[in-house]
A and B are shown apart, each in its own frame.
Chain A
Amino acid sequence: MTWFLDHLALVGSLLLVHAWLAVVPLLLGLIIAIPLGWLAERNRVLRPILVVGTGLLYTIPSLALFILMPLVLGTGILDPLNVIIALTVYTVALLVRTVVDGLSAVPETVRQAAIAMGIGGARRFFTVELPLAVPVISSGLRVAAVSNVSIVSIAALLGIAQLGSLFTDGFARDFLDPIVVGIVACLVLSVVLDALIIGVTRVLTPWVAARSAA
C-alpha cells in the first residue's frame, strides 16, 4: 500500500498509457470490422473467408505479433504503434463475426419493409441495419475491450511502458507490491471500459430498455 502511495504518479501515467493502447485499437478495429462485416453479411462467397480468416488472426500469439510488427511496418521495436496495430488486428479478429451476427439478426421483414419504402444501399445500412445490430456488436466490443487490456500488458516484455511494466519490474526485483498494484489497476481499467461501453450502448439503444420493461 505504501509502495502504491509513493508511486501514485507513476501508476497513474502507466494507467493512462495502458488505457490509450487498449482503447485506440478498439475503436480502429470497430471501424474496420463494420465494413468487413457488412461485406461478409451480404456476400455468400466472402462470408466464410472473412469470418474464418479474421478469426484465425486471433490465434497468432501476441508476443510473436508484437515482434513481427517492426519487420512488417519498419517501425522501431519500442514504437507504441506496434502495439496499436497488433491490437487492432485482434479487435478486428473478434469483431467481424460479431458484426456479421448482429446484421444477420435484423429480421428479414424489417429489411423488406425498408426496401419497400425505397430505403436502399448505404442509407438502409446506416439508418436501419446497423442501429438494430448495435446490441450484438456492443457485446462483442466488451469482450474485445477486456481482451485488449490484458494483451497490452504483454508489450512490457518488449519494453513498452504501461501497467504490464509493473509486472516485469516486480518480477525482476522479486517484489510483490508493484505486481499486485498492476493487477488491480488492469482490473479497474477493464471494469471502467466495460461500464463505459454499456453506458454508451444504453444511450444509443433506448428501445432495448423499453422492450425489456414491456
Chain B
Amino acid sequence: MITFDKVTKVYPDGTRAVDGLSLDLPTGKITVFVGPSGCGKTTSLRMINRMIEPTSGTIGIDGRPTSSLDPVTLRRGIGYVIQSGGLFAHRTVLENIATVPLLLGWGKAKAYGAARELIERMGLDASLTSKYPAQLSGGQQQRVGVARALAADPPVMLMDEPFSAVDPQVREQLQDEFLRLQAELGKTIVFVTHDIDEATKLGDQVAVLRVGGTLAQLAPPADLLADPVDDFVADFIGRDRGYRALAFVAAPALPIQPEATVELGATREQVAAVAAGAPWVLVVEDGAPVGWVAPERLGATVGRDDLHRGGTVARVGGSLRAALDAALSSPSRRGVLADDDGRLVGTVSATDVLTEIERDETGPPS
C-alpha cells in the first residue's frame, strides 16, 4: 500500500502544486489521479519515486517512508511510464526494454530474455525487437514504454498520461490491453490522466484533484459517477455521467427476444420471407451476428456491403450501458445480445432496458 499523509509541495517560485494530500493507494489496485491541467497530478506522482521531494508530509510504501530509502534503489523498483514514451532514440526496442534489468545487474542473457518475453506479452511483433523507436508507430512506442517500465517486474507502476498521445481508437485498444495485463499481474498502479472517461474505465478508485492540489473526492468509479460530492466534481465528470454510470451496473436478466435471422449469402427471396414486411433483418455468420440488412434495398444475395455497420453488440450479463447502447445503435432499435463466444443469443428493446434501469435500486442515489 502507498500512503500519502498530509503531503504538500510548494515549488521554489511559490507555486502550491499539492496541498495537504492524504490518501491510501491499495496494493494490487489501480488508483487514478484525475483533474484539470495544473492540479498537481504529475507532481503527486513524481513525489512517490522521489523525482520531486515533498515540502512537508510523508509518503510511505508498505509502511516505510520513502524519505528513508535511497532514491536510485527506490526508482529501480518502481516502473515509470511517461507521456509520449520517453524512449531512448539511440537504443533498439530490445535495449530500451532491458534498461532497468541491465542496471540491476541481471546480465545480458537474462535481461534480454525478459525483454523478449515482454515484447510478446505486449502484443508487439517480434520483428520490432531490433528496430529503433523512430521506426515505430505511436501506439507501438507506448507499448514499448509500458514494457520498459514492467521489465524488472516492479510491484509498483507510475503512469503519467501514458495513452494521451495516441488517437482515440488506439487509446481504447491500449486501455483494454492494459486492463487485461493488470488482471494477470496485479500491480499497484498509480495512473494519471485528465480524461474522466479513462479514469472511470481504468481505475479501481479515482482521486479527483482540483487546481491548488487538494483532493476533491476519492471513490470507486461507479460511486464517483453516481454521487459527486460537489459542483466541481460534478462539472468535471461532465454531462453524460448518468449514462456513463450505467457501465458499472451489471444488466440483470433482461427479457431477451428470439430474433429471426438469415445467413450471410442468403438470397433476396429468403430474406423477404424471414422479414415478413419488417424493415430490418439480422444477418449471422456461423452463429455470430454480423449486421442488419434492409430487404428492399437488397441485390440478389446478402453480401458484406449490404450490412448496416455501427450497431454495437452487448454481451449477455454485461453492463446496462452496453445493453442500452446496443439497442440505441441498432437500426431496428432491437439491441443485439451475444454470449461470451460471440454467438447470437437474441435481441432486447431499448424500452425493456429502460424498464430494468428504472427497476434497478443500486442506481444513482438521491
A118 and B76 in contact, given A109-B84, A113-B87 (Cβ under 8 angstroms): yes
Q: Write the A131-166 contact mask toward B (1 if CB under 8 angstroms, else 0).
A: 110000000000000000000000000000000000
- Taken together as a complex, chains A and B put the C-alpha atoms of A211 and B135 apart, in Å, by 6
Q: Write the A99-140 contact mask toward B (1 if CB under 8 angstroms, else 0).
A: 000000001011011111111100000001001100000000
Are the C-beta atoms of A113 and B82 separated by less than 8 Å? yes
State the interface size on chain B (CB cutoff 8 A): 28
B44 at the A interface (CB under 8 A): no
Instruction: Specify which of A109, A118, A211, A214 is in contact with B75 (CB 8 Å cutoff).
Output: A118
Are the C-beta atoms of B71 and A112 separated by less than 8 Å? no
Are the C-beta atoms of A210 and B100 separated by less than 8 Å? no
Are the C-beta atoms of A110 and B72 separated by less than 8 Å? no
Are the C-beta atoms of A132 and B90 separated by less than 8 Å? yes
A207 and B86 in contact, given A116-B75, A116-B80, A118-B72 (Cβ under 8 angstroms): no
Are the C-beta atoms of B88 and A110 separated by less than 8 Å? yes
Q: Which residues of B contact A75 (CB under 8 A)?
A: none
- Taken together as a complex, chains A and B put the C-alpha atoms of A207 and B72 apart, in Å, by 28
Instruction: Specify which of A109, A120, A205 is in contact with B72 (CB 8 Å cutoff).
Output: A120
B85 at the A interface (CB under 8 A): yes
Kindly provide the distance from the CB of A102 to the nearest chain B CB, expressed in whole angstroms: 12
Are the C-beta atoms of A109 and B82 separated by less than 8 Å? yes
- Taken together as a complex, chains A and B put the C-alpha atoms of A183 and B257 apart, in Å, by 93
Are the C-beta atoms of A113 and B80 separated by less than 8 Å? yes
Q: Which residues of B contact A213 (CB under 8 A)?
A: 135
Interface residues on A, range: 20 to 34
**Chain B minimum-CB-distance residue to A116:** B80
Are the C-beta atoms of B132 and A210 separated by less than 8 Å? yes
Are the C-beta atoms of A211 and B89 separated by less than 8 Å? yes
Are the C-beta atoms of A116 and B51 separated by less than 8 Å? yes
Are the C-beta atoms of B82 and A132 separated by less than 8 Å? no
Are the C-beta atoms of B82 and A207 separated by less than 8 Å? no
Q: Which residues of B contact A207 (CB under 8 A)?
A: 89-91, 132, 134
Interface residues of B (CB under 8 A from A): 49, 51, 71-76, 78, 80, 82-91, 99-100, 103, 131-132, 134-135, 158
What would 8 A/B residue contacts be, using CB atoms closer than 8 Å?
Answer: A110-B86, A110-B88, A113-B80, A113-B82, A113-B86, A118-B73, A118-B103, A119-B99
Interface residues of A (CB under 8 A from B): 107, 109-110, 112-120, 128, 131-132, 205-207, 210-211, 213-214
